[in-house]
Amino acid sequence: PTPPSPKPQSSIPPSPPKGGSSPTGVDQVVTAFSEMARQSGLSVPRAVTASRRRSLLLRIEEHGLPAVLDAIQRIGRSRFCRGENDRGWRADLDFLCQPKSFVSILEGKYDDRPLQQSQSPPRPQSPSMQRHHDIHARLKRELYGEPDEQFAGQTVDLAAGDFRSH
């Protein structure tokens, strides 16, 4: 008997395993996210549900694996995503999965910003703003018992909304 002839090569890739995901791309993303989360103090995903797999596969198909891996690194570098925000909110795998938040991550919305004060000299204050600060400083000094000769004898009528000295 003659051995069977080799089957012709098909251009159709093999079917993905159950769950509808590419094991290589999605698994790389989950591994990278888990590693970043451990290093950054974020929640490490415990389960990769079918829904998460589908979402991650879509992000990979839309943007490419390098972009998804870049987004993960951006989350790890972002103080805001690591919980340094007014609510203590922290990014998780589901945040990465969401199309809108994913694009925002890539666009740098969550990147740390340099401190404004160290980047540019302070703007000069308008005369009315300077007066406001002077009055505030005087009230603070009077409340906390720090006398200031500059304001001796002056009163300010706060109720009338007129902040000129009288």
The pLDDT, as a whole number, for residue 135 is 79
Per-position pLDDT tens, the chain of length 166? 655 555 544 444 444 444 444 457 999 999 999 999 999 999 999 999 999 999 999 999 999 999 999 999 999 999 999 999 999 999 999 999 999 999 999 999 999 988 655 445 555 667 777 777 777 677 777 776 655 555 555 555 566 565 555 5
Measured distance CA(158)–CA(162) in Å, rounded = 6
The pLDDT, as a whole number, for residue 22 is 44
Measured distance CA(91)–CA(114) in Å, rounded = 21
pTM attached to this predicted model: 0.56
Given a contact cutoff of 8 angstroms between Cβ atoms, the answer to whether 96 and 102 are in contact is yes
For residues 5, 8, 9, 10, the Cα torsion angle rounded to the nearest 10 degrees is -140
Whole-number Cα distances in Å, 54 to 31, 50, 94, 104, 152: 16, 6, 12, 20, 72
DSSP 8-state secondary structure symbol assigned to residue 98: S
Strand partners, 162: 157
Domain ranges of the chain: 23-106, 125-159
The pLDDT, as a whole number, for residue 83 is 94
The pLDDT, as a whole number, for residue 153 is 56
